[in-house]
Amino acid sequence: MSALLHTIFVQNDPDLLSLEQVWQDALAFRIPAGAFARALEAIRWDAKPVGAFQAGIEMCLALDAVDLARELAARGAVLHPTDDMLATLSRVLAPPIVLSVGNNTQPDQSLSVQWLQDHSRAYAGSWVALRNGALLGSADTRQMLIERLGIPAASPELLITWLP
């Protein structure tokens, strides 16, 4: 923990002094990290200044207790909405958010698979092309089928297969 945070906030706050002792014991593996979490939760944070939150977050991060640091940063940002450091810590420690999901590179072929189950005997020995469960065409060879369809064989929405 930074000396400045310790001097200004921890030394003058019995709650944080107690938390710091538990933190040091947890760092030295003399007690389980769960004891630190319980000590952290026992503090009435709504009455603490910004620096106390920063000290607590530093302690959490030193113990690799990211979830605790995240919760403390979020609580601090709510209680001290004008503090840029707590807002930044809250944002940085927040769980990642997926902003967009790329297109599914594999289209759903379930309708085409169902078509194959229902109609494969009628087209045994042939190549067939399906899209979304609809037969586009059939031929004796793959090349003939592709030429007959007049579309690229690599179209991801197509299912081209030979039926034994």
Higher per-residue confidence, 47 vs 3: 47
Q: Which helix (H) or strand (E) holds 135?
A: strand 134-139
Question: For residue 77, is pLDDT > 60?
Answer: yes
* Assessment of whether the complete model's pTM goes beyond 0.75: no
pLDDT attached to residue 65: 86
Question: For residue 63, is pLDDT > 60?
Answer: yes
What single DSSP character describes residue 158?
E
85 in Cβ contact with 29 (< 8 Å): no
pLDDT attached to residue 62: 85
pLDDT attached to residue 4: 44
90: confidence class by pLDDT, cuts 50, 70, 90: very high
26 in Cβ contact with 35 (< 8 Å): yes
Would you list the domain boundaries of the chain? 3-93, 110-162
Of 48, 42, 47, 2, the closest CA to residue 19 belongs to 42
Q: What is the pLDDT of residues 132-161, one digit of tens each?
A: 999 999 999 888 888 888 877 667 788 889
5: confidence class by pLDDT, cuts 50, 70, 90: very low
Listed in sequence order, the residues at least 6 apart from 58 whose beta carbon sits closer than 8 Å to its beta carbon are 1, 2, 5
Residue with tokens 């930074």: 2
What single DSSP character describes residue 63?
T
142 in Cβ contact with 97 (< 8 Å): no
Decide: residue 79, CB within 10 A, 0-12 exposed, 13-18 middle, 19+ buried: middle
